[in-house]
Structure 1
Amino acid sequence: MSDRSQLEKVEDIEIRLLLEALFLKYHYDFRNYAMASIKRRLRQARQQLGIATFSALQDRLLHDPDMLPRLLGYLTIQVSEMFRDPSYFKAIREQVVPHLRTYPSLKVWIAGCSEGEELYSLVILFREEGLEDRTIFYATDINHQALEAAEAGVYPLDRIQLFTENHRKSGGRSSLSDYYQAAYGRARFDASLRRNVVFSDHSLVSDAVFGEMNLISCRNVMIYFDRKLQDRAIGLFGDSLSRKGFLGIGSKETLRFSSHSAAFVDFVREEKIYQRRSNDGG
C-alpha cells in the first residue's frame, strides 16, 4: 500500500471516530452523511482552525465546549439565496398555492432552513398570495447559530440584487424592497415577516415527526446524506405531511430510490415537487 493510501486509510478511521465522538457527546449524528462531503468539510475546518490532525480535532471537540458551534458551522454550511431557483417558487405560487387556498389554516415546514433565505422567500410569497395570516411557518435546522442568523433576518446588501432578480422571476407581486430596510451595508428584513414563524432545533438524522404539515420544503439538504439517511428523511417527511400535502426537494435530489417513494406522486415533476398520496391510495 502506498504512503498516500495508508494516510487516507488513517484519516478515514480518524473521521469515523470524530463523528462517533460528536454523536456520543452532543447527539449530532453525521455518521451516515456522504463521506466525500464530510471529509471535504472537515479538511477545511482543520485547515482554517489550525489543527494538525482529525484526532486532534476530536480532542478539542471533546474538551473545548466552544468547538462544537465552530465545527457545526463547517459541517452544516449551506450556500443559499432568496428565491433560489425561481422556477421552483413560481411553481409553488401558481400550482401549489391554489390547493392550499382551500384550507382554513396551514402549516409549512422549512427543514434545514440554514440562515433563513428560503424561509423569508416562502413567507413573502404567502403574504403576496394572501395566505400568510392563516399560516404557521416552522423553520428548523441542527445548527443553532444558523437559526439565530435566520431569526435576525440580516443579509449583506451586495446579495440583495440577486435576491431581487430571483423574486421577480418567481412571479413576485411587489418589490422586494417593500420587505427590508437597508443601512450600513446590510439589509434587515421586516420583523413582521417573523410573526408567524417558529424557529426550532431539529435533526433529520435523529429527531421524530415534526407535525402535520401542508407543505414541507427541504432543498439541497439530502444531497449530503447517504442513501440510508436519505431514506429516513423521506420517511419522516411522509409521516409529517397531511393527506395530500406537498413536499419540495432540491433539483439534484430524488425520491426515486427511496423505500417510501410509493407514498408520493409527482406533482410538478420538473421542479421536484411531490404530493403525498391520500390514505386511500389516491
Structure 2
Amino acid sequence: MSTKHFDIEMQLLLDAIYLKYHCDFRGYAGSSLKRRLTTAMGRFGCATLSQLQDKVLHDPSVFPALMDYLTVQVSEMFRDPSYFRSLRETVVPLLRTYPSLKIWVAGCSGGEEVYSLAILLREEGLLERSLIYATDINQAALKKAEAGVYELERIAGFTSNHQKSGATTSLSDYYTAAYGAAVFDKSLRKHVVFSDHSLATDSVFAEMHLVSCRNVLIYFNRQLQERALGLFRDSLCRKGFLGLGSKESLRFSSHAGAFDEVVREDRIFQKKGEL
C-alpha cells in the first residue's frame, strides 16, 4: 500500500473510532501511530486499514484489543529514579505545607507510576492526607492498574529503581508474592481514584498540587501537546508542580510562561504564583 493510501485509510479509521467509541487519536503523532497500526493489522489478520476499520465497526471484541496497540503500555515502577529523588528533595517539602493534597497521574497506563507515587508519599508521611487521581483512556490498563498485580520477574528492576529514588523503606514492605505475581497492598489503593479520562477531549481536574504526566506527550502532535499542557496548567493550583518525561519539555509551548523550571534535568516545573 502506498504511503498516501495508508494515510487516507488511517485518517478514516481514526475518524471511525472517534465517532463510534468517542476516543480521539487524531492528534497522536503520525509516525508512531503508523508503526503501531501496522503491527495491529498483522495481529487482526488484515491486509489493509480499511479491513481493520470494518472489524472495529462491526466486531465489538476488536476495539478493546486494538486499544493495547493504540496506547503505549510501557512503564515500570520508579522509572527514571532521579525524578522521584527530585520529588522527595524539592517538591515534598512544599507539599508538606498543605493540609490535604490532590495529585493527578495523567496517562497512568498499568499503574506503575501511581504505586510509585503512593509509596513515596507513604515514606514521606503524606499519603494519609493525599488523593491520587489516576487516569487513562485504556479501560483494560485501568483495570490492571486498579488490581495492582505485576509479574514477579519485574520486581527486581522495580526494587532497584526504588532504592535509587532515595527510598527509606524496602519495596517488599508493600507487596505480597503469590502464584508468580506481586500483589501491591490495598492500603495504597485506598488513596487512589482510577478514572477514564482523555487528554484529547475531556476537561480539567481542579486544584491539583502535583500533575505527573511522563512519557505521554511524546506520542502527541504539537496541537494535542498544547491542549494537554493547557489542561495541566488549568488543573494546577497556584504554585502547583508539573512533572514531565525525560524527553518532554515546555520550551516550545505557549504555556511555558506560566511555569518556572524547578529541576531542569528531571523535567519538574512549578506554576507561577501570579499569572
Question: Normalised by the size of structure 1, how large is the TM-score?
Answer: 0.96
Q: What is the CA distance between 1:77 and its match in structure 2?
A: 2.2
After the TM superposition, which residues 163-242 of structure 1 pair with which residues of structure 2 at under 5 Å, given as runs? 163-242=158-237
- Residues 1:125 and 2:120 are matched in the alignment: yes
Residue 258 of structure 1: aligned partner: 253
Pairing partner for 1:48 from 43, 46, 54: 43
Query: SS of 1:65's equivalent?
Result: coil
CA distance in 2, matches of 1:78, 1:64: 23
After the TM superposition, which residues 88-99 of structure 1 pair with which residues of structure 2 at under 5 Å, given as runs? 88-99=83-94
CA distance in 2, matches of 1:67, 1:49: 8
Query: SS of 2:133's equivalent?
Result: strand
CA distance in 2, matches of 1:12, 1:239: 34
Q: What is the CA distance between 1:12 and its match in structure 2?
A: 0.8
User: Root-mean-square deviation (CA), in Å?
Assistant: 0.8
Residue by residue over 1:26-48, the C-alpha shift from the partner in whole angstroms, topping out at 9 and shown as x without a partner, is 11111111000000010111112
Q: What is the CA distance between 1:78 and its match in structure 2?
A: 2.3
Q: What is the CA distance between 1:143 and its match in structure 2?
A: 0.3
Pairing partner for 2:82 from 78, 87, 90: 87
Residue 245 of structure 1: aligned partner: 240
Aligned partners of 2:44 and 2:52 also within 8 Å: no
Residue 3 of structure 1: aligned partner: none
CA distance in 2, matches of 1:25, 1:212: 32
Pairing partner for 1:158 from 148, 153, 160: 153
Residue 24 of structure 2: aligned partner: 29
Query: SS of 2:2's equivalent?
Result: helix
Residue 69 of structure 1: aligned partner: 64
Q: Share of identical aligned residues, percent? A: 65
The one-letter code sitting in structure 2 at the alignment partner of 1:139 is A
Residue by residue over 1:133-186, the C-alpha shift from the partner in whole angstroms, topping out at 9 and shown as x without a partner, is 000000000000000000000000000000000000000110000000011111
Aligned partners of 2:101 and 2:209 also within 8 Å: yes
Pairing partner for 1:19 from 14, 17, 25: 14
Query: SS of 1:23's equivalent?
Result: helix
Query: SS of 1:51's equivalent?
Result: coil
Residue 274 of structure 1: aligned partner: 269
CA distance in 2, matches of 1:7, 1:245: 47
Residue by residue over 1:208-227, the C-alpha shift from the partner in whole angstroms, topping out at 9 and shown as x without a partner, is 01221000000000000000
Identify unmatched segments of 5+ residues in structure 2: none
Query: SS of 2:73's equivalent?
Result: coil
CA distance in 1, matches of 2:180, 2:264: 39
Query: SS of 2:36's equivalent?
Result: helix
Q: What is the CA distance between 1:248 and its match in structure 2?
A: 0.1
